Structure 1
Amino acid sequence: MELFEEALDYLKDENVAVEPVTPGLLEEVFTDDGFLQSPMRTESFSLPEVGIRHVSKARNTSEDMLEKRLVVLRGILNSEELYLNELETMLIPMKPLKATAGTSQPVLSCEEIQTVFFQVPELLALHRDFYQGLKARLEGAMELNEGLESELHQGAFQGLSTEEVQEQGLVAEQGKSHHLLTVGDLFQKLVSQLATYRGYIDNYESAVEVVRRCTQSDPRFRTLAESMRARKGSDSSKSEYTFEALLYKPLDRVTKTTLVLHDLLSHTPPDHHDAPLLQEALRISSSFLSGLNEASQCKKAVTLSKGMRRQLMHDGFVVCLCENGRSLRHLFLYTDLLLCVKLKGGSLGRHCQYRYCWHMPLFGLRVRWAGEEEHLPDTQQRISCMKAKMYQLRQAVRQQRRGLHSRFVDRIHKKLQECELWLLTHSPNLSLDLHSTSGKSHTLLMSSLYELEEWREPIDRLIRENTETVPPDLLTLTNSCVKLRMTQQPHLESLQSGNADQSLCGTLSVVVHSACGLQEPACMWVRVEVDGFDFFSIREQTHSSLSSLEPQWNQEISFQVDGAKNLRVVCITQLENCPEDMVVGRGSFKLDPAITKKWKKLNLSMGQLDLTLSVKYLPHPLDPPSSTLTQQLPVFCVPIGVVAQQEGVLVPHVVRSCVKEVERRGLEEEGIYRTSGSAKEIQLLKHSFNTNLREALKGVRSAEVNVVSGTLKLYFRDLPEPLVPADLYQSLKKALDLPDLASKQSALLHILESCPNANRNTLLYLLHHLRRVSEKVEVNKMSVMNLATVFGPSLLRPPAPRVDISEEVVVQVQVVYFYLQCNDLPTPLTSLPLDTEDEQETIM
């Protein structure tokens, strides 16, 4: 507004007639936010003189619009100059800060510098190019007008009248020069690169966080950040800003682009060459601004050709399996295709580019989760060694940061990043196979099932929506990746800035209780994942539940965590006659370091599915991880108390899975525990339980039911100590001799209560199962006495030396028979009761 008023004063000083301007027009051209207001007057580029206007007061509307259009463009140019000065001021301390980053007392680390100045050089280059182009166009128009003014004065000197001057067309020529001033292509080029702001906007909160934290902690940075001075114009006057205020300038600038274009278009005649170009620029800018206002992080528009739009839905770094091995690639999911590219170079947001690798149209694409593959022993050994090395580097960084700044911290930190990047590339073993209709196929590897589902879910949805393939301009699409990307770099914990007090370091325990909301009965297992440094296992899963609408697990899982901030849960159903498992729900929640040592119960809502679990956190220093290859501990021929402890349950998984499978399809099998299954298949299933529990649970569902029942009997026979401890044998024998039935029952139940927790609850779990088997005696021919005869010798054995085998068998059978007949048989617990808080929280 000030610039416009200065122009009016200038014309009045030159005795030029000026028509009144309505207040409404001023409000239309100059917005309240002051974007077009200029706090400065530059001498390098003056407003063109318009003394010719006095020759005619009867100007048409088009000429008025062109004159006012020049005023708007002048305001835009001045605003751009001010914005460039602010960006340049913001970048002044970048080089000195980078120079100190390698010293013993850095002001900011290399990672913090990268965060603070991210994309600023690109924004400066973008607007400097726009400013120079706009300035050249306006200066050209000014020179042409000055030439016409010179011709006018020469004509007047020669005695020509005003009418004669008009007849010679000098006024028309000046109007023509205004009409020939075109800037639409400049604005189109500017708005086509607005996506450059996306990376800056996504990074803005992190940059502000670094500036605020360092301002409080480092007096040197505070002095710098609180006294930034930006030049106001071509003169020597300067304005003082804080660093945080300068960081906000790009956010403020990008939101005003649409207003500027709207004002410029409203003062551009419809027949002007710029009109259609400015309309398209306004459309693109409005679309981008709408996306910002809706906080849309997952949709980015790319114009392929007239009338066609393509949007970026998701992107991130994944491991791609190829002939040369594993490669870390940046994957972009658009509305109609997948694009895989390789990131080349780039630091501090500049000189980044992508190299095309491959693409696959979504139309007809087949996606298959191929499950989890085991690493080769040599690879697994290298992964274990790398985790141990990362742990040592992490400890070294912590020790250095407790004291004074050391010149070795950045070097150690860089090594930690390199190790973590290697682990990110070589440890993923969850594969997602992609097959196109053209016969091409690619395999993506991920370490997190939650992350895999973040890809598979939108891909499956977009596949259903796509009915045709649109050939992409691969060069244009690849080149646009830098500006459209939402993920700037691979997710490395060593690159994450933030307060360590907001993350967990110690033991995080999770108990998965139950789920509800299934539409049909299904077997289900739950995978629990935590983030943080991957020194230890941060991915565990429950056993498979029995087919049910409300599956139960009550299974405890413990994690050793360092830097954990989030916990993610994925629920998977295992369908019969289907080789693939299906994800039916996933959810996550932020871990609170204030979690007490008592269990906190949570209800996690995942759409139609609700999962109940409990969490507990115990902070403590971590022991170094082992660099040797660790294998699953065996299950068979191991004391039941040891197995229950290592599984975090009271009834081992092998017992529960076999029992549930027999109840699912063996209750009506004749001679279910009397008819033996294949000895070879029983041994194979035993080996699976000893080496890979997940595969064993799948094997249980596919094996013959007599093989499953035979495996259960073998487990109890192979126990090194009987399920009922041998030192209780004589007490049980004496209790059987009691003549009074009530006294006998009381004594036998009392002896049962004296068994260790895992032994007692496993025995009760089995007894209740055998009673359900006996209820089908008319079909399966397994009476209570038959079941007692089969299981008695496996569950109860006298201490050595053994004297009378016939008497021993009688005692074994009678004890089991009595327990099966008992009406007051206690209900078993499959997991330890939790000391929970009174509150129960629901997380959506």
Structure 2
Amino acid sequence: MTLASDIVFIPASELPASANHEAESRSPEQCRDSHPDIPMAVSPQIKRVILESPVVSSGEEEVSFDETDGVPEELSARDKLLQMRQYIVKGVLESEKSYLAILELLIHYKRSLEASSQTSKPVISEEDNNAIFFNIKKLYAIHQEFVKELEPKVNNWSHDQKIGEIFKMMVFQFPEFGKYMKNYQVAVTTIHRCSQENPQFQEIAGKVTFGSHAKEVTNLEDALFKPVQRVQRNALVLHDLIKYTPEDHEDHRLLRKALDLSQYNLEEISSTIRESGALPQEKRHLVKSSFLVELVSGQRKVRYIFLFSDVLVCTKKDNNRKASNFDVKWIIPLCRLTIDTHFDYQDDLKHSHKENIEAMKKKIGQLKSELRDEVKYEEARVSKHWSISGLAAARSVDKLKRKIHELEAQLILQLPKLAVKLTHEGGKVHTLLMTTDYEREEWLETLTSLCRKCGHDDPSLSTYEVQELVNTSKALPQVNKFGSVLMQKDEEVLNGTLNVTVHKLNGLVTPCDTYCCVEMDSYDHFFMKARTNICPTSADPAWDEDFELELDGSQTLRVLVYKKVDNKSDRLLGRGALELCKSWLKTNFQEKTISMNDVSLVISVRHTPANRTMRRTPSQQKTGVFGVKISTSARREGKTVPSIVTACIQEVEKRGLDETGIYRVSGVTSEVQRLKKAFDKNVRLGTCHVTDCDIHAVTGMLKLYFRELPEPLFTEANYTNFVESLRLSDKEAKEKCMLGLLHNLPDANYYTIVTLLEHLVRVAKNVKENKMTIHNLATVLGPTLLAPAVKDTTTNPLEMMSKTTEQVMLQSAIVNYFLSLAAQGRSLRRSAQV
């Protein structure tokens, strides 16, 4: 059934030449057959207006710009101001056109309802129609004239162009806006009354669609609030224009007068409205919601936090209840909230165990695969007939989902280590734990902003009212989309590598030392993946540093910019994020600007799918090192282990054992490539360069060397044998088989593996400083050392990706087994074999 709220406006220009005539001559039934989106509940007169109405844009667009984007560095300070002035004026024009489209939409609704009021069955009366759309036509005429005067100025722009008079004439019309704003509450009250009296109008007012293809949808009440917002925006635009108009420019004086006049008019309007109560109070609304961890008497508890515009609500999710599965634990009115982050706390999981996190993440991946198979089985059963086995399949699906939810809860408990203390005015204290600086800053910024706005009025909500508030809000999207990756289809999950180039930072006012950190999620948990070098004492810092990051079910790339303060702490200047998806990621670099309040960061991003990252193509450079068989390199040098491996290991043990995230954090790609070229040209030259490079570039180059070997270090011939031996349940038999396979590898492979594994054990002994456990190291290096070359195949891509995920887990497990043996004191050398 088509509702009145599904009205679609079709431009006359898109109709056949005879369309208007046919619309008048056809019966209502014929009109419905040609245009099924127009409901029969609407009278023929309204239909006719609808058919002749233009398509309206998707709504008023916020125009954003960066203060230095596109401004050549060689311009003078005055020219830069004028360049920014041009961008602002152009943005104002584009925004005005979008706003005009909204007003035009409202006018067409008014005309449609006017036509209805002349019939025997009006939707609403003419009086109510005039009350709802009061002064809309005058506002439209004002803005239409403004655009008409401004557009030729923008199209023929020069730095001497004068637009102050146009803005001043707009400000002179503010009394008309005042009349509209005074009537706004009358309009809203009339909408509510008419909606109760007439279901047909309720359908029309409940859903206003901006354009036939636009996604943005709002109700009539929201659309009528746009002019109220516009009045305030006009004053803000004048502030910006004055800021970027030099004082010696002829427009400066006119813009100042326009601003003074606008402020006077706004004060007059606000005073009158406050006295009459014409504008409504802001409604309570949900701002953020998320799973967080609360520290209760030293114990971690999973909580679901709802942040409303005036109150913070902490709940416990109860999966065993259907009626209300969020039980309220405590509430704090924002007007009585104090926030503190400068304190220490104690609990058993303050230092998260990443090996547990990786194990749980892999287990969830396996359960997801099982769940997908069960769902397919159940759907196949239902499509044929219902049976006892179908019921069993449904129960199996529910059981797997419960297991996934249980593991999700454990994951949430493990990671957080950054505390936020929330104190109620009465003295009650609650401590929430968060995972990353990004997440904590996001919550602090939002809480602080809302606390400033909420004033001193206590919302005085009863427990019942709070529970009802939560129940009506729980279906809204949450901040951390936990479990969303786990339930995605395999073709939607991102794998492979992401090349990120951090270019430059715009918007700094004073010179300082700055650097950037790059975070990326892995199945909804974020990890620091890369860090740029410090750009010293600059107001225009530029890094142009490249990083190659491994994707593992990743959805979001986060970047944080820090100002170096001292050795103890650094100040966060800004943070921003990019949502990663296959719709915009390409195999060539895409440049993106990430806005961070007062500053913005320019980066470039490129995606390489998993089936292209492990080709292991042999080198065409016979005298090189990369892409050359390891036995060839060792024999050429007369050594058991190639020099490139020993040089990197020695350098890491010399200055990298205390480096946080060693082997996990990516080095700058350009520096890795320079090292690679040096070794390919001359091994001795490469060995000398290693001592001067960033340690993460050294480990990145070593991983690249193993990844580009023509065959994996553990050899393809023995890969299946290693996997089968790992699955043995008898510990003694497993150890004997695994060591036997290792010792029977070709000499160059065997000596290199043992040397590397012994080195990694030494790295893991410094886990307190570098945060790299044996499990972490195995996870990072397993696929690099064991993954066979990807071959062109006709296998279904989804099946191949599913198999790849399982193989990655096995490869990491093999390396983890040998590292665990070595860490326990068991020698991996042939001479120690019993």
Instruction: Name the TM-score class by shorter chain.
Output: 0.3 to 0.5
**Normalising by structure 1, what TM-score?**
0.37
**Normalising by structure 2, what TM-score?**
0.38
- From the CA coordinates, give the structure whose radius of gyration is larger: 1
**Relative contact order, higher structure (CA 8 A, sep 6+):** 1
